[in-house]
Structure 1
Amino acid sequence: MEELGVMVVREFDPEKDCLSVEEVERRCEVGPCGKLSLFTDLLGDPICRVRHSPAFLMLVAEMGEEKEIVGMIRGCIKTVTCGKKFSRNGKNGNDPTKPLPIYTKVAYILGLRVSPSHRRMGIGLKLVRRMEEWFRENGAEYSYIATENDNQASVKLFTHKCGYSKFRTPSILVNPVFAHRVPVSDRVTVLKLTPSDAETLYRRRYSTTEFFPRDIDSVLNNKLSLGTFLAVPRGTYSRESWPGADRFLLDPPESWAVLSVWNCKDVFKLEVKGASRVRRGFAKTTRIVDRALPWLRLPSVPEVFRPFGLYFLYGLGGEGPRAVKLTKALCAHAHNLAKESGCGVVATEVSSCEPLKLGIPHWKRLSCPEDLWCIKRLGEDYSDGSVGDWTKSPPGSSIFVDPREF
């Protein structure tokens, strides 16, 4: 426990802090480029957004004799890929021409909130510094955060006061879930992989991708992971003839694509605030028409002015000349899954130069073309290999976004 005047920073207590944390969340609008706001229906568990990580902590700041909660922060620690290396002389059975991942222990800050009535008092800075102490105590080598690129207060806090550097600028792509189903091309077969097959594919193809989680098996086997889906040209495989990931990787088709779906709906909800009656009325009209005439496949606006859930797409990858089209088919399949569950949107986050980005449908009004990730080196790099200072490394064409941190 730490004090700064009449302010105390302490660990979150689920038995007494939930309602107060919810109230602060309600007063703090967040979301990509300010278009989406977090609704504080966290299913009675404000720490649930980090609970699925290997190590996690939530802190709150309380002030005054009444011990009013005026801020909070969440953090988690995991091991991820920060670079790659080549094995020497094929030792341990490794192919010397195939890169191997270099792992590092990285911490992630999310959910930093300060009540609007208590800002510019150093509360956010105190919360970040106390969280970083916990990171160091648990062996984290780097800490990073994601914030809106145009959120000047947040950017200034981390880059000017906390010593973080601007690191990556991925894109958050958000697509509405319509009242009609989106057709999946009849030239494509979509297969659902077992968690074991999905792990094999990801580890062999994407373990050297930046931020790839070493515990990918925990992610894929989590109850919030709704499945990993593989798209191949029709006639390549059927559900009955699927040979398994090992044989697939020995002789893959010319083109294929893969993605996994994460159920954020059971973790938090979002809502769009500040919309005029005219916009609300127009959105309602599009939904009525779409439900009445689904065969027209009109792009209706979902009910985003009330709390709604979303599905998050992660682990996007693929190869071959048709990979973009196959990715589009997978997104259509994910859209239909989201429709069946009553979600309002489907979202994903990818590198700004991701080759498969063209196959991901999204609405610009809901999306954020340039999110901002900032990073800080907490100590010496004890990675398995020599990557130098990761904070100074150039970006790759792809990035692996952990759904547990979205």
Structure 2
Amino acid sequence: MTVVREYDPSKDLAGVEDVERRCEVGPSGKLSLFTDLLGDPICRIRHSPSYLMLVAEMGTEKKEIVGMIRGCIKTVTCGKKHDLNHKSQNDTVKPLYTKLAYVLGLRVSPTHRRQGIAFKLVKMMEAWFMQNGAEYSYIATENENQASVNLFTGKCGYSEFRKPSILVNPVYAHKVNVSRRVTVIKLDPVDAESLYRLRFSTTEFFPRDIDSVLNNKLSLGTFVAVPRDSCYGSGSGSWPGSAKFLEYPPESWAVLSVWNCKDSFRLEVRGASLWRRAMAKTTRVVDKTLPFLKLPSIPSVFKPFGLHFMYGIGGEGPRAAKMVKSLCGHAHNLAKGGGCGVLATEVAGEEPLRRGIPHWKVLSCEKDLWCIKRLGEDYSDGALGDWTKSPPGPSIFVDPREF
């Protein structure tokens, strides 16, 4: 008999870590990625406003953890509406919010699969979601993970919703040169919040508590790239604040923030041949010996490594993609200083700025899959309607707390 209950760190840690080690993460056919939760299985969700972790336990006398699931709830943008100001006759676009739940970290021990354990974990988590007022639940899974897709879209009633791309770039042994034609400005959290709320609050999945994200200790900063020959790129003291900047922006600009995932979890690539490991090590040795060549060396991903995550990517103007490329170079150098193996981000499949994001196809996932479910039919449609039936937009805001 399987019992699903809340995770107890005083007695469940070893069992959860054992299941985590035995479960592969990543698309089939590629090198297997294994997560290392740094001794705290809740670390990937505890920065969210509301969260829960459940475990599935089997046995009577000798009990064994055979599965687990994590979930969190937050309020995000699900659409936008036009608010008519009768005094000024201005048509202002405002965000529509919904309470959204997210399922992540579903794991079942390989020796206990096909016994309905995953389904039971999902249903128990959904019950908690509804008790706490969540209107929608969504999950992210690999498009090639047919077992996961069948579970959620078949048995659990989810529907395919968005297909973003996870873009991953290795952190080289050398620093990346940032274009001298671009100035990178670091914003303080208050100014960063103002910029995001003024410009990106109507972007799908934008978290209403963006201030909590930007002020979190894992957020390493928000950076804006502007042309060096613009009035904002001339040096220190030239930043006027986000409101003034957006009122008089340069021809092109871009913004992104960086999140430190390596203090929450580690990854490890397993299954690589000795030849592949040797080739990777050779590229690192050559890169360190001859850094001026700027060779694209392969980091040591065959032992636990950390990553930095780029989020809140946006910008405007004909050179916005080039500005994003400069910001990614700056983020790469931060990750190198932080001892990370890779730099990652997740963007909408049709994101126009993705061409400015350096990445390796062999490490990336071009078609991640987000599935969504409406949890209750008694919610008022209001101005939104049913979000599960809405068409995709060009951009999404990926919350780093859930990556």
Which category of TM-score, normalised to the shorter sequence, fits these structures?
over 0.9
Offset at 1:37? 4.7
Structure 2 residue 183 is the aligned partner of structure 1 residue 189: yes
Q: Equivalent residue for 1:88?
A: 84
Equivalent residue, structure 2, for 1:145: 139
Amino acid at match of 1:123: I
2:154 is aligned, of 139, 147, 160, to 160
- Residue type of the alignment partner of 1:17: D
- CA separation of 1:138 and 1:337: change in aligned 2, threshold 3 A: same
Match of 1:3 in 2: none
Residue 331 of structure 2 is aligned with which of 329, 334, 348? 334
Equivalences for 1:109-124 in 2 at 5 Å?
A: 109-124=103-118
What is aligned with 1:208? Answer: 202
- SS of alignment partner, residue 15 of structure 1: helix
In 2, are the aligned partners of 1:30 and 1:36 still within 8 Å (CA)?
A: no
Asked whether 1:67 is paired with 2:95, we answer no
Which residue identity lines up with residue 207 of structure 1 in the other structure?
S
1:78 to 74, 80, 102: 74
Gaps of 5+ in 1: 1-5
Q: 1:320 aligns with which of 317, 321, 325?
A: 317
CA contact (8 A) 2:44 2:264 kept: yes
Shift of residue 380 of structure 1? Answer: 3.9
Corresponding residue for 1:30? 25
Structural RMSD (CA): 1.5
Q: CA deviation at 1:88?
A: 2.7
Q: Paired residue for 1:19? A: 14
- The residue type paired with residue 42 of structure 1 is L
Do 2:23 and 2:34's aligned partners in 1 also have CA atoms closer than 8 Å?
no
The more displaced of 128-137 and 238-247 is 238-247
CA contact (8 A) 2:31 2:271 kept: no
Gap change, CA 1:382 and 1:96, over 3 Å in 2: farther
1:219 equivalenced with 2:213 (yes/no):
yes
Deviations 1:207-259 (A, max 9, x none): 00000000000000000000000000003222322111121111111100000
Partner Cα separation in structure 1 for residue 402 and residue 28 of structure 2: 18
Secondary structure in 2 matching 1:98: strand
Matched residue, 1:274: 271
Tell me if the contact between 2:34 and 2:269 (Cα under 8 Å) persists in the aligned partners.
Answer: no
Q: Output the TM-score relative to the length of structure 2.
A: 0.96
Q: Distance in 2 between matches of 1:154 and 1:56?
A: 22
What is the Cα deviation at residue 96 of structure 1?
A: 3.7
Find the aligned partners of 1:327 and 1:88 in 2 and give their Cα distance: 34
Are 1:179 and 2:176 an aligned pair? no
Q: How does 1:253-268 map to 2 (within 5 A)?
A: 253-268=250-265
* In structure 2, distance between residues paired with 1:156 and 1:294: 48
How far off its partner does 1:32 sit?
A: 5.1
Take 2:203 and 2:224, find their aligned partners in 1: how far apart are those partners? 19
- 8 Å contact 1:22–1:40 — kept in the other structure? no
1:246 to 243, 248, 251: 243
Say yes or no: does 1:233 pair with 2:227.
Answer: yes
> Deviation at 1:84?
0.3
| Contact in 2 for aligned 1:62/1:70 (Cα 8 Å) | yes
Aligned in 2, Cα 1:273/1:24: closer, same or farther, shift over 3 Å?
A: same
- Percent identity, please: 75
The correspondence for 1:41, drawn from 36, 39, 42, is 36
Distance 1:114 1:90 in 2: 56
1:40 positional shift: 4.2
